[in-house]
Amino acid sequence: MKPLNTLARYPFLKDAKTYVKNQGIAVTELIKDPLYDRARSIAIERVEHAFEHKDVGVRQLSKESDCIMELFSYPLSRMITCCINDSYFTRRYALGEAVRFYKNLIKENTFFLVDIVKEFNLNIQFDGENQHLSIYFTDYLTHAPTRYKHWKLVNRELQNGYISLSSKDLSRVTQEALRHRINNELLDKPCHELIQKTFSEEIQRLQNKIATQRKNNETIPVGKLDVKKLPPCIKRILADVQAGENVPHMGRFALVSFLNSLKLSTQDIIDLFNTAPDFDEEKSRYQIEHITGGVSSTSYKPPGCDKLKTYGLCPSEEIDRICKKTHHPLSYYRYKWKIENKRKKKKSDKKPNKKNEA
C-alpha cells in the first residue's frame, strides 16, 4: 500500500478506498461524529472550490490526522455532489478533482505515473531505460484534448498503433480519464438522506450559486443575434445553410438548437435561412419546430464541442483562443458578449463627466 500522504493526495485510487474501508467507519459516524468535523468542512471546501475555481484545492498534509481527514473528505464531497443534484455541478466537481490530480501528478516521477495509469486501464508502453512513453491510439483519442493543435493526431508520432508522449502529456490524458470516471460514477447516484439533512444549508447555498450563475448567463443580451460573435463552427454551418449547401443533419440540428437557445423565434431562424437558392419555408419551419419543441414538445439542447468534433463539424483550422477556453459554442458566444460589455463599461467609465467639467 502507498504511504498515507500519497493516498490523501490521490483519494480515488484503489489503495485509498481500501484504506478508508479498512477503518470500518460507518457513514453515519462520518456525518455525525464530531471527530470528523474537519473531514466534513474539507468536503465542503472541495466541492465549493471545484465549482468556483475548477480545482478542489490543496491543504496541508504534514500530520497523519491531516491525511486521514483529507481521505475521508473525498467520499463525503462525492455524496454532497450527488445531493446537489445538478449535472452541470457534477461535471464541474469531476473537473475539479481531475485538475488537482493533474497538478499533483506532474510533480511525480515517471515510474509513479506509470503505476497510477494502470488503474485507469490505459494501454501504455514504458521503456524505463530511455524513459520513453507511448499510449495506444484508441485510448489517446478517447481522452486526449484533441481540440488543441498540439494534441492533434497528425502532430503526433504513431508507431504500431502507439503514440509517443511526454510524462506531462500522459498526466493530462489521465486527468481526462479521471474526469470521465468521476462524472460517470456520480451522474445517476441517488442522494443519501442523511447527507441531505446534515449539509442542507451548504447544499442550498451551492444550489443558489448555480442558479445565480445560470441567471447571469441568461441575462447576457443574446436575444438579437450578433453574427460576429458566433463561434467558428456555427458561423460555418450558418454560412453553408444560407448558401444552400448540403448540410448534414447534425449540422442543422446544432445550428437550430443553438439559435433557439439564444431565444430566436422560429420566424427569426427562418428569416436567417431564407437566403438559400432552393429555400423551402414550410419544410424548414417543420424541421426547425421539431428541434425547438414547436412540433415535438421536446426542446433539444445544442451539442457541445466534443460532439461537434466527433461529427467533423468543428473547423479545427479556424479554432481561436476563445475556443480553447470553452467547451461549448454557447459559452463561446457568451464569452464574446462579456468581453464586449466589459469594453463598453471601461469606455463609459473613462468618459469625462461633462456636468462636472462645465
Cβ closest to ligand SF4, residue 57 vs residue 315: 315
Cβ closest to ligand SF4, residue 96 vs residue 232: 232
Alpha-carbon distance of 195 to 83, in angstroms, equals 7
Contacts with ligand SF4 by CB under 6 A lie at 147, 231-233, 305, 308, 314, 319, 323, 329, 332
Cβ closest to ligand SF4, residue 20 vs residue 323: 323
Specify which residues 135 forms β-bridges with.
Answer: 124, 163
Cβ closest to ligand SF4, residue 165 vs residue 255: 255
What are phi and psi for residue 31, nearest 5 degrees?
Answer: -85, -35
Alpha-carbon distance of 294 to 146, in angstroms, equals 36
Cβ closest to ligand SF4, residue 147 vs residue 252: 147
- Distance of closest approach, residue 41 Cβ to ligand SF4, in angstroms: 38
- Distance of closest approach, residue 278 Cβ to ligand SF4, in angstroms: 27
Cβ closest to ligand SF4, residue 258 vs residue 273: 258
- Distance of closest approach, residue 262 Cβ to ligand SF4, in angstroms: 14
- Distance of closest approach, residue 281 Cβ to ligand SF4, in angstroms: 28
- Distance of closest approach, residue 351 Cβ to ligand SF4, in angstroms: 34
- Distance of closest approach, residue 299 Cβ to ligand SF4, in angstroms: 21
Kindly report the three-state secondary structure assignment for every residue of the chain. CCCHHHHHHCCCCHHHHHHHHHCCCCHHHHHHCHHHHHHHHHHHHHHHHHHHHCCCCCCCCCCHHHHHHHHHHHHHHHHHHHHHCCHHHHHHHHHHHHHHHHHHHCCCCHHHHHHHHHCCCCCEEEECCCCEEEEEHHHHHHHCCCCCHHHCHHHCCEECCEEEECHHHHHHHHHHHHHHHHHHHHHCCCCCHHHHHHCHHHHHHHHHHHHHHHHHHHHCCCCCCCHHHCCHHHHHHHHHHHCCCCCCHHHHHHHHHHHHHCCCCHHHHHHHHCCCCCCCHHHHHHHHHHHHCCCCCCCCCCCCHHHHHHCCCCCHHHCCHHHHHCCCHHHHHHHHHHHHHHHHHHHHHHCCCHHHHC
Alpha-carbon distance of 299 to 43, in angstroms, equals 36
- Distance of closest approach, residue 326 Cβ to ligand SF4, in angstroms: 6
Cβ closest to ligand SF4, residue 40 vs residue 147: 147
Alpha-carbon distance of 290 to 282, in angstroms, equals 12
- Distance of closest approach, residue 179 Cβ to ligand SF4, in angstroms: 18
- Distance of closest approach, residue 232 Cβ to ligand SF4, in angstroms: 4
Cβ closest to ligand SF4, residue 32 vs residue 324: 324
Cβ closest to ligand SF4, residue 2 vs residue 307: 307
Alpha-carbon distance of 220 to 234, in angstroms, equals 19
